[in-house]
């Protein structure tokens, strides 16, 4: 990243920590992940001039995601952050203008038998290749995945609720929402 946006790792950690509420292991990881991902896709001003060319997929719903959100300005409500909670400290940064995309994943620094809190590398000074596995990837985005107004709306044949942007499940001639097509994964109707 250019010095004009990200002066120092410490300043970015402070920004992310303020957004998150404290500075923890995940904020430190997320800050370095963001620095690495944005630099590799050529985004230097994610909250300003480059904001319309950035989408980030995160793979965890923890502190690391808050750091990435704080430093990039990407948010689920703006459709610029996609959360796929696989429980992994990983994020994919995509430059929509160039179609360059890199997935950044924290390497395990824990030794067998070691407590999770004991295995904290020096996120400020370790080289990227020691902290992360970084892979150039291709992310096939559909128009329905991009920021903007919904491109489609259909109603579920079972519950009647509206489904937007191609998230419906088709069974023959009928259209269902995902919870009606399969068992809802986070709630059960009571009564």
Distances (CA, A) of 108 to 112, 120, 131: 11, 10, 8
Q: What is the mean pLDDT of residues 78-87?
A: 95
Look at 144 and 184; give whichever has higher pLDDT: 144
pLDDT digits (tens, 9 = 90+) for 101-124: 999 999 986 655 666 555 577 888
Average pLDDT over every residue of 153-173: 93
pLDDT digits (tens, 9 = 90+) for 39-80: 999 999 999 999 999 999 999 999 999 999 999 999 999 999
Listed as own residue / partner, the contacts of 7-10 with beta carbons closer than 8 Å and 24 or more positions apart are: 9/35, 9/123, 9/124, 10/124
User: CA-to-CA distance for 167 and 89, rounded, in angstroms?
Assistant: 26
Question: Coil, strand or helix: which one is 109?
Answer: coil
125 pLDDT band, cuts 50/70/90, is confident
What are the extents of the domains in the chain?
A: 9-141, 149-191
In this model, does residue 189 exceed pLDDT 60?
Answer: yes
More confident position, 7 or 14: 14
Find the range with the poorest average confidence among 70-74, 131-135, 144-148, 152-156.
144-148
Instruction: Tell me the CA distances in angstroms from 43 to 82, 95, 105, 160, 166, one per residue in order.
Output: 18, 7, 19, 42, 29
Half-sphere exposure of 110 (CA within 13 A, CB side): 9
pLDDT confidence of residue 112: 55
Class of domain 9-141: alpha beta
Q: Tell me whether strands 81-83 and 54-58 are parallel, antiparallel or unpaired.
A: parallel
Question: Does residue 18 sit in helix, strand or coil?
Answer: helix
pLDDT at residue 122 in the model: 82
Could you tell me how many residues make up the chain? 191
Beta bridge partners of 103: 92, 135
């Amino acid at each position: 990243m250019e010095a004009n946006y990200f002066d120092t790792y410490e300043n970015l950690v402070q920004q992310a920590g303020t957004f998150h509420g404290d500075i923890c292991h995940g904020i430190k990881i997320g800050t370095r992940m963001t620095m690495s991902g944005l630099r590799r896709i050529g985004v230097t001003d994610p909250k300003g001039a480059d904001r319309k060319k950035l989408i980030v997929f995160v793979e965890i719903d923890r502190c690391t995601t808050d750091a990435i959100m704080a430093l990039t300005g990407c948010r689920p409500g703006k459709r610029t952050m996609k959360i796929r909670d696989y429980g992994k400290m990983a994020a994919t940064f995509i430059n929509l203008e160039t179609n360059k995309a890199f997935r950044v994943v924290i390497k395990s620094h824990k030794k067998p038998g070691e407590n999770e809190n004991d295995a904290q590398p020096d996120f400020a000074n370790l080289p990227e290749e020691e902290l992360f596995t970084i892979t150039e990837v291709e992310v096939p985005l559909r128009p329905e995945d991009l920021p903007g107004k919904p491109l489609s709306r259909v109603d579920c044949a079972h519950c009647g609720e509206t489904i937007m942007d191609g998230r419906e499940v088709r069974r023959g001639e009928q259209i269902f929402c995902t919870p009606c097509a399969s068992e809802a994964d986070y709630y059960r109707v009571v009564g």
